[in-house]
Amino acid sequence: MDITVNQKTYSVADVCSLQQIISVVLHSPFSGIAVAINQKIISKNDWESHFLESGDHIIIIKAAQGG
């Protein structure tokens, strides 16, 4: 199935959790990020159990330091 992450399309298995796609996209630890699917924030506690659906639009926001 196809999903969109930060305006880039990915083809993933029919059964794919949010946590799995985050690890594919970021290749780094999950600290300091927020995730929304179809404009709804998903709690970090739910990433492993939230399964994606075809056509989902995911936004990953990474916190940055500085001023």
Band of the pLDDT at 3, cuts 50, 70, 90? very high
Burial class (CB in 10 A: 0-12, 13-18, 19+), 42: middle
pLDDT above 90 for 48: yes
Band of the pLDDT at 67, cuts 50, 70, 90? low
Helices marked H in 1-67 — which ranges? Answer: 18-26
Neighbours of 35 (CB within 10 A): 22
According to the CATH classification, is domain 2-62 in 1.20.1070.10?
A: no
Predicted confidence (pLDDT) per residue in 5-47, tens digit? 999 999 988 999 999 998 888 887 778 899 999 999 999 999 9
pLDDT above 90 for 64: no
